[in-house]
Protein backbone atom coordinates (compact mmCIF):
# COMPACT_ATOMS: atom_id res chain seq x y z
CA UNK A 1 0.00 0.00 0.00
CA UNK A 2 1.37 3.41 -0.96
CA UNK A 3 2.21 5.95 1.72
CA UNK A 4 0.37 9.15 0.88
CA UNK A 5 1.64 12.47 2.10
CA UNK A 6 0.07 15.85 1.90
CA UNK A 7 1.83 17.79 4.65
CA UNK A 8 4.60 20.33 3.93
CA UNK A 9 7.31 19.84 1.36
CA UNK A 10 10.24 17.66 2.43
CA UNK A 11 13.36 19.63 1.58
CA UNK A 12 16.08 17.25 0.51
CA UNK A 13 18.64 16.54 -2.17
CA UNK A 14 19.24 13.06 -3.51
CA UNK A 15 22.22 12.41 -5.76
CA UNK A 16 22.51 9.45 -8.09
CA UNK A 17 25.24 8.37 -10.47
CA UNK A 18 22.77 6.91 -12.94
CA UNK A 19 22.64 8.34 -16.48
CA UNK A 20 18.89 7.87 -16.78
CA UNK A 21 17.09 10.99 -18.08
CA UNK A 22 15.75 13.20 -15.30
CA UNK A 23 12.09 12.94 -14.41
CA UNK A 24 9.70 15.73 -13.61
CA UNK A 25 6.75 16.37 -11.21
CA UNK A 26 7.60 13.13 -11.27
CA UNK A 27 7.08 11.87 -14.84
CA UNK A 28 5.69 14.97 -16.49
CA UNK A 29 7.33 17.82 -18.37
CA UNK A 30 8.09 21.54 -18.22
CA UNK A 31 5.12 23.73 -19.02
CA UNK A 32 5.67 26.19 -21.84
CA UNK A 33 6.19 29.75 -20.68
CA UNK A 34 2.79 31.38 -20.17
CA UNK A 35 0.89 28.11 -20.76
CA UNK A 36 -0.87 28.14 -17.36
CA UNK A 37 -0.14 31.59 -15.89
CA UNK A 38 -2.85 31.14 -13.25
CA UNK A 39 -0.93 28.34 -11.50
CA UNK A 40 0.99 29.97 -8.64
CA UNK A 41 3.19 28.83 -5.81
CA UNK A 42 2.81 29.50 -2.10
CA UNK A 43 6.01 30.29 -0.24
CA UNK A 44 6.91 31.11 3.33
CA UNK A 45 9.00 34.24 3.69
CA UNK A 46 11.68 33.90 6.35
CA UNK A 47 13.83 36.72 7.68
CA UNK A 48 17.56 36.33 8.00
CA UNK A 49 19.66 38.37 10.40
CA UNK A 50 19.44 41.94 9.24
CA UNK A 51 16.79 42.86 6.70
CA UNK A 52 17.31 40.12 4.10
CA UNK A 53 14.76 37.36 3.52
CA UNK A 54 14.64 33.99 1.81
CA UNK A 55 11.74 31.85 0.63
CA UNK A 56 10.78 28.19 1.09
CA UNK A 57 8.23 26.47 -1.10
CA UNK A 58 5.04 25.31 0.65
CA UNK A 59 2.30 24.39 -1.82
CA UNK A 60 0.84 25.19 -5.21
CA UNK A 61 -2.39 27.03 -5.98
CA UNK A 62 -4.65 28.67 -8.56
CA UNK A 63 -5.26 32.37 -9.16
CA UNK A 64 -9.03 32.90 -9.45
CA UNK A 65 -8.77 36.66 -9.85
CA UNK A 66 -6.25 39.43 -9.20
CA UNK A 67 -6.78 39.08 -5.43
CA UNK A 68 -7.98 35.50 -4.78
CA UNK A 69 -6.13 32.17 -4.76
CA UNK A 70 -7.55 28.66 -4.40
CA UNK A 71 -5.45 26.00 -2.66
CA UNK A 72 -5.71 22.98 -0.36
CA UNK A 73 -7.05 23.48 3.17
CA UNK A 74 -4.13 21.69 4.80
CA UNK A 75 -1.66 24.12 3.18
CA UNK A 76 -3.44 27.08 4.79
CA UNK A 77 -3.91 25.20 8.06
CA UNK A 78 -0.18 24.61 8.49
CA UNK A 79 0.55 28.27 7.75
CA UNK A 80 -1.88 29.39 10.45
CA UNK A 81 -0.71 26.76 12.94
CA UNK A 82 2.93 27.78 12.72
CA UNK A 83 2.25 31.46 12.07
CA UNK A 84 4.25 31.48 8.86
CA UNK A 85 4.42 34.58 6.71
CA UNK A 86 3.04 33.40 3.39
CA UNK A 87 3.44 35.06 0.00
CA UNK A 88 2.23 34.14 -3.48
CA UNK A 89 4.73 33.89 -6.33
CA UNK A 90 3.36 34.26 -9.85
CA UNK A 91 6.49 35.41 -11.64
CA UNK A 92 9.60 33.65 -12.82
CA UNK A 93 11.21 31.30 -10.34
CA UNK A 94 14.64 32.94 -10.53
CA UNK A 95 13.38 36.35 -9.41
CA UNK A 96 14.56 37.44 -5.93
CA UNK A 97 12.06 38.20 -3.14
CA UNK A 98 12.23 41.96 -3.71
CA UNK A 99 11.48 41.75 -7.44
CA UNK A 100 8.36 43.71 -8.51
CA UNK A 101 5.38 42.06 -10.23
CA UNK A 102 6.41 38.63 -8.96
CA UNK A 103 5.08 38.38 -5.41
CA UNK A 104 1.88 39.29 -3.60
CA UNK A 105 1.19 39.27 0.12
CA UNK A 106 -1.48 37.04 1.64
CA UNK A 107 -3.92 39.27 3.52
CA UNK A 108 -6.62 36.79 4.55
CA UNK A 109 -6.87 33.02 4.84
CA UNK A 110 -10.28 31.31 4.66
CA UNK A 111 -10.38 27.55 5.24
CA UNK A 112 -13.58 25.69 4.41
CA UNK A 113 -15.69 25.61 7.61
CA UNK A 114 -16.15 21.83 7.39
CA UNK A 115 -12.50 21.08 6.70
CA UNK A 116 -10.92 18.29 8.75
CA UNK A 117 -8.01 15.92 8.39
CA UNK A 118 -5.96 13.40 10.27
CA UNK A 119 -2.72 11.96 9.00
CA UNK A 120 -0.57 9.31 10.60
CA UNK A 121 2.21 7.41 8.87
CA UNK A 122 0.90 4.20 7.32
CA UNK A 123 -2.62 5.09 8.43
CA UNK A 124 -4.84 7.57 6.64
CA UNK A 125 -8.33 8.48 7.75
CA UNK A 126 -10.68 10.14 5.25
CA UNK A 127 -10.02 13.87 4.97
CA UNK A 128 -12.91 16.22 4.34
CA UNK A 129 -13.40 19.48 2.46
CA UNK A 130 -9.67 20.10 1.96
CA UNK A 131 -10.02 23.57 0.43
CA UNK A 132 -8.99 27.12 1.26
CA UNK A 133 -9.12 30.59 -0.25
CA UNK A 134 -6.42 33.23 0.13
CA UNK A 135 -7.03 36.93 -0.38
CA UNK A 136 -3.92 38.70 -1.64
CA UNK A 137 -2.61 42.05 -2.69
CA UNK A 138 -3.14 42.45 -6.49
CA UNK A 139 -1.42 39.86 -8.66
CA UNK A 140 -0.42 40.85 -12.18
CA UNK A 141 -1.32 37.51 -13.69
CA UNK A 142 -1.92 37.50 -17.45
CA UNK A 143 -4.81 35.04 -17.34
CA UNK A 144 -6.94 33.71 -14.49
CA UNK A 145 -8.46 30.26 -14.28
CA UNK A 146 -11.96 29.22 -15.20
CA UNK A 147 -13.69 27.01 -12.65
CA UNK A 148 -15.66 24.08 -14.03
CA UNK A 149 -19.10 23.31 -12.62
CA UNK A 150 -19.21 19.92 -14.39
CA UNK A 151 -20.30 17.20 -11.96
CA UNK A 152 -17.12 15.30 -11.10
CA UNK A 153 -18.93 11.93 -11.27
CA UNK A 154 -19.24 12.48 -15.03
CA UNK A 155 -15.47 12.96 -15.40
CA UNK A 156 -14.40 9.41 -14.58
CA UNK A 157 -12.31 7.99 -17.41
CA UNK A 158 -11.46 11.36 -18.91
CA UNK A 159 -8.05 12.95 -19.31
CA UNK A 160 -6.89 16.06 -17.46
CA UNK A 161 -3.67 17.95 -16.76
CA UNK A 162 -2.16 18.28 -13.28
CA UNK A 163 0.12 21.30 -12.87
CA UNK A 164 2.29 21.95 -9.83
CA UNK A 165 5.53 23.21 -8.33
CA UNK A 166 6.50 20.40 -5.93
CA UNK A 167 9.45 18.02 -5.78
CA UNK A 168 11.08 17.45 -9.15
CA UNK A 169 14.53 16.67 -10.58
CA UNK A 170 17.28 18.19 -12.63
CA UNK A 171 20.30 16.64 -14.29
CA UNK A 172 23.76 18.16 -13.95
CA UNK A 173 26.33 18.11 -16.79
CA UNK A 174 28.21 15.27 -15.08
CA UNK A 175 25.05 13.10 -15.10
CA UNK A 176 24.19 13.56 -11.44
CA UNK A 177 20.44 13.84 -10.79
CA UNK A 178 19.35 16.19 -8.03
CA UNK A 179 15.93 15.90 -6.38
CA UNK A 180 14.50 18.93 -4.61
CA UNK A 181 11.70 21.49 -4.79
CA UNK A 182 11.24 23.21 -8.13
CA UNK A 183 12.02 26.48 -6.33
CA UNK A 184 15.46 25.31 -5.16
CA UNK A 185 16.21 23.75 -8.56
CA UNK A 186 14.94 26.85 -10.44
CA UNK A 187 12.55 24.67 -12.44
CA UNK A 188 9.44 26.02 -14.18
CA UNK A 189 5.91 24.75 -13.70
CA UNK A 190 5.65 20.96 -14.08
CA UNK A 191 2.68 19.32 -15.80
CA UNK A 192 1.53 15.78 -16.45
CA UNK A 193 -1.44 14.19 -18.19
CA UNK A 194 -3.56 11.92 -16.02
CA UNK A 195 -6.81 9.94 -16.11
CA UNK A 196 -9.57 10.54 -13.56
CA UNK A 197 -11.21 7.56 -11.85
CA UNK A 198 -13.23 6.60 -8.77
CA UNK A 199 -11.05 5.87 -5.75
CA UNK A 200 -11.13 2.37 -4.32
CA UNK A 201 -10.47 3.77 -0.84
CA UNK A 202 -11.95 6.80 0.89
CA UNK A 203 -8.81 8.91 1.15
CA UNK A 204 -10.82 12.09 0.76
CA UNK A 205 -14.47 13.06 1.00
CA UNK A 206 -15.54 14.06 -1.58
CA UNK A 207 -12.70 13.05 -3.86
CA UNK A 208 -11.50 11.14 -6.89
CA UNK A 209 -8.20 9.59 -7.92
CA UNK A 210 -5.71 10.16 -10.71
CA UNK A 211 -4.02 7.40 -12.69
CA UNK A 212 -0.96 7.62 -14.96
CA UNK A 213 -1.55 7.43 -18.71
CA UNK A 214 -0.44 4.37 -20.65
CA UNK A 215 1.34 2.79 -17.68
CA UNK A 216 3.94 5.57 -17.53
CA UNK A 217 5.92 6.20 -14.38
CA UNK A 218 4.53 9.43 -12.93
CA UNK A 219 3.21 10.85 -9.69
CA UNK A 220 2.53 14.06 -7.83
CA UNK A 221 4.87 14.82 -4.94
CA UNK A 222 5.08 16.89 -1.76
CA UNK A 223 4.74 20.57 -2.62
CA UNK A 224 2.20 19.82 -5.37
CA UNK A 225 -0.63 20.00 -2.82
CA UNK A 226 -3.14 22.66 -3.84
CA UNK A 227 -2.32 22.20 -7.54
CA UNK A 228 -5.18 22.58 -10.04
CA UNK A 229 -6.48 19.69 -12.10
CA UNK A 230 -7.21 21.21 -15.50
CA UNK A 231 -9.87 19.84 -17.88
CA UNK A 232 -11.12 21.39 -21.16
CA UNK A 233 -14.16 22.62 -19.19
CA UNK A 234 -11.91 24.42 -16.69
CA UNK A 235 -10.29 23.61 -13.35
CA UNK A 236 -12.16 20.58 -11.98
CA UNK A 237 -10.20 19.82 -8.82
CA UNK A 238 -7.54 20.69 -6.25
CA UNK A 239 -4.81 18.18 -5.42
CA UNK A 240 -5.17 17.12 -1.79
CA UNK A 241 -3.07 13.96 -1.42
CA UNK A 242 0.29 13.60 -3.13
CA UNK A 243 2.38 10.48 -2.92
CA UNK A 244 5.54 10.20 -0.85
CA UNK A 245 7.28 7.04 -2.04
CA UNK A 246 10.62 6.17 -3.57
CA UNK A 247 9.23 7.62 -6.82
CA UNK A 248 9.39 11.13 -5.36
CA UNK A 249 12.51 10.76 -3.24
CA UNK A 250 14.48 8.40 -5.50
CA UNK A 251 12.97 8.83 -8.99
CA UNK A 252 15.66 6.77 -10.75
CA UNK A 253 14.49 3.57 -9.05
CA UNK A 254 12.76 1.33 -11.57
CA UNK A 255 9.28 1.20 -10.10
CA UNK A 256 5.78 2.17 -11.16
CA UNK A 257 2.83 3.63 -9.30
CA UNK A 258 -0.85 3.20 -10.08
CA UNK A 259 -1.98 6.25 -8.10
CA UNK A 260 -0.79 9.71 -9.11
CA UNK A 261 -2.75 11.58 -6.43
CA UNK A 262 -6.15 12.24 -4.88
CA UNK A 263 -8.15 15.32 -5.83
CA UNK A 264 -10.89 17.35 -4.17
CA UNK A 265 -13.51 18.14 -6.85
CA UNK A 266 -14.52 21.73 -7.54
CA UNK A 267 -18.19 21.22 -8.45
CA UNK A 268 -19.56 20.74 -4.89
CA UNK A 269 -17.85 23.98 -3.77
CA UNK A 270 -18.72 26.45 -6.52
CA UNK A 271 -21.23 28.37 -4.40
CA UNK A 272 -18.90 28.53 -1.39
CA UNK A 273 -16.03 29.84 -3.54
CA UNK A 274 -18.16 32.46 -5.30
CA UNK A 275 -19.68 33.63 -2.01
CA UNK A 276 -16.25 34.87 -0.97
CA UNK A 277 -14.62 35.79 -4.27
CA UNK A 278 -17.56 37.88 -5.50
CA UNK A 279 -18.46 39.40 -2.12
Residues 137-173 pLDDT 10s? 999 999 999 999 999 999 999 999 999 998 777 778 8
pTM of the model: 0.84
Residues 244-259 pLDDT 10s? 555 565 555 555 567 8
Average pLDDT, integer, range 5-19: 28
Distances (CA, A) of 217 to 22, 57, 158: 12, 24, 19
Please report the pLDDT score of residue 222 as a whole number.
78
Rg of the chain in Å (alpha carbons): 17
Distance (Å, whole) CA 163 – CA 174: 29
Domains of the chain in start order, with CATH, are 4-277 (2.40.10.10)
Amino acid sequence: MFILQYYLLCVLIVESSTKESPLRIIGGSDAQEGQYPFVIRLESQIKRSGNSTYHKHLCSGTALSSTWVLTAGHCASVVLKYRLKMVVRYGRVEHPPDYEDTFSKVLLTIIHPLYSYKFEELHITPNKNDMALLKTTPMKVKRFCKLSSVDFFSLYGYEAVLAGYGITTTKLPDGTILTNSSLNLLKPLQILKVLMYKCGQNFLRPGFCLAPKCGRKMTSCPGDSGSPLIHPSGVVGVLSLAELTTDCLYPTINSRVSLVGVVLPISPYIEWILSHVTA
